[in-house]
Structure 1
Amino acid sequence: MIALDPRSKLILIAITVLFSMLIPTGIFTCIWIFLITLLGMFLGRAWKTLRAAFLFAALWLVSVYVLPQINGTAHTSLLVWLGLVFKCYPCCMLAGVVIGTTQISEFMAAMAKWNAPREVVIPIAIIFRYFPALKEDWNHIREAMALRGISLSPICFLKNPSVVIDALYLPVLVTASKTADELSASAITRGIENPKKRTSRLDIKFRLIDGAVMLIFLIVFAVAQVMTS
Structure 2
Amino acid sequence: MSAIRFDPRTKLVLLFMCVLCTMFAPSLTYELFLVILAAVFGLLSGQYRYTFFGLIAYCLIFLATKLSIYHLTGIWQAIFIAFFGLVNKVYPCGFMAGIMIATTKTGEFMAALYKIHMPDSFVIPFAVMMRYLPVVKEDWNSITDAMKMRDVSPSLKGTIMHPVMTAECLYVPMMMAASNTADELSIASVTRGIENPNPRTCLTKINFSVKDVLAVCFILIYFIIGLLIRRGLL
TM category, shorter:
over 0.9
Q: Which residue of 2 aligns with 1:67?
A: 69
Q: Which residue of 2 aligns with 1:84?
A: 86
Map residues 126-165 of structure 1 onto 2, 5 A cutoff.
126-165=128-167
Q: Which residue of 2 aligns with 1:118?
A: 120
Of all paired residues, the percent bearing the same amino acid is 35
* One-letter amino acid of the structure 2 residue matched with residue 178 of structure 1: N
Cα deviation, 1:15-57, whole Å, max 9, x if unaligned, reads: 1111112222332211111110010111121211221211111
Q: Which residue of 1 aligns with 2:25?
A: 23
Q: Which residue of 2 aligns with 1:215?
A: 217
* One-letter amino acid of the structure 1 residue matched with residue 170 of structure 2: L
**Aligned pairs, number:** 229
- Residues in 2 aligned to 1:158 and 1:88: alpha-carbon distance in whole angstroms: 25
Q: Which residue of 1 aligns with 2:105?
A: 103
Instruction: Give the deviation of 1:201 after TM superposition.
Output: 2.9
Map residues 194-205 of structure 1 onto 2, 5 A cutoff.
194-205=196-207
Instruction: Give the deviation of 1:160 after TM superposition.
Output: 3.6
Q: TM-score, normalised by structure 1?
A: 0.94
- Residues in 2 aligned to 1:203 and 1:153: alpha-carbon distance in whole angstroms: 43
5+ residue gaps, structure 2:
none
Q: SS in structure 1 opposite 2:6?
A: coil
8 Å contact from structure 1 (residues 25, 87) kept in 2: no
8 Å contact from structure 1 (residues 25, 86) kept in 2: no
Cα gap change, 1:95/1:154 in structure 2, threshold over 3 Å: closer, same or farther?
closer
Superposition CA RMSD, Å: 1.5
* One-letter amino acid of the structure 2 residue matched with residue 37 of structure 1: A
Instruction: Give the deviation of 1:158 after TM superposition.
Output: 4.4
5+ residue gaps, structure 1:
none
Q: TM-score, normalised by structure 2?
A: 0.92
Q: SS in structure 2 opposite 1:170?
A: helix
